[in-house]
Chains A and B, each alone.
Chain A
Amino acid sequence: DPKIIQKPKYLVAVTGSEKILICEQYLGHNAMYWYRQSAKKPLEFMFSYSYQKLMDNQTASSRFQPQSSKKNHLDLQITALKPDDSATYFCASSQGQYYAEQFFGPGTRLTVL
């Protein structure tokens, strides 16, 4: 019974297109995050939200836009896709936004052709 759901599991897109990655958590947490794992690179932080408000953004590009329609949702919209955006995108959540253990979803593997 997965507590953090990410959809889709795999995604193939063409350069220049736009995609939305879905994340829902059923842990009752109030903070959610996005991380990215590219080939040969460590996992890197992208965004954090607490009570549906942006807390931190370490993504240089405005092509990446998180969207939080509900407390337990944090989607990631990516526009003008590039091949370098190919990576696995992980959603995570925690109870509290300060020094709280984080739990990760299964990831969405994005390939941009």
Chain B
Amino acid sequence: EQQVQQSPASLVLQEAENAELQCSFSIFTNQVQWFYQRPGGRLVSLLYNPSGTKQSGRLTSTTVIKERRSSLHISSSQITDSGTYLCATMSNYNVLYFGSGTKLTVEP
């Protein structure tokens, strides 16, 4: 059973629309880290969020640890936002457990 679930699996937006990506986890954690994976494979850390809300530019992450969920909000999407967004929860010893990702496509 996968410990980290992400939804939706894929999402298609028109440019300038907003996106809401969801992450739920079955294991206890104190930290959630969101990544962007480029077509090509490289992972880029977007937000590292222990709890509450954290913002970076057009990205906002909201994590509620006791409810075992986190979300990533992307505002005013751009074509260059296309790619896969990964949610990962962190164990006590800094092991990251990843979800399968949400594949985002932003069209003109």
A88 touches B93 (CB 8 A): no
A26-B41 Cα distance, complex, nearest whole Å: 20
- A104–B97 Cα distance when bound, in Å, is 14
Chain B residues within an 8 Å CB radius of A104: 35, 42-45
CB of B95 within 8 A of CB of A43, answer no
Q: How far is the CA of A103 from the CA of B42 in the complex (A)?
A: 10
Within the complex, the shortest CB–CB distance from A101 to chain B, in Å, comes to 4
Count how many pairs of residues, one from A and one from B, have CB atoms less than 8 Å apart in the complex: 65
**How many B residues face the partner with a CB closer than 8 A?**
26
* B71 lies within 8 A of chain A by Cβ: no
Q: How big is the A interface, by class?
A: 20 to 34
B interface residues, Cβ below 8 angstroms from A:
2, 4, 30-31, 33, 35, 41-45, 48, 50, 86, 88, 90, 92-101
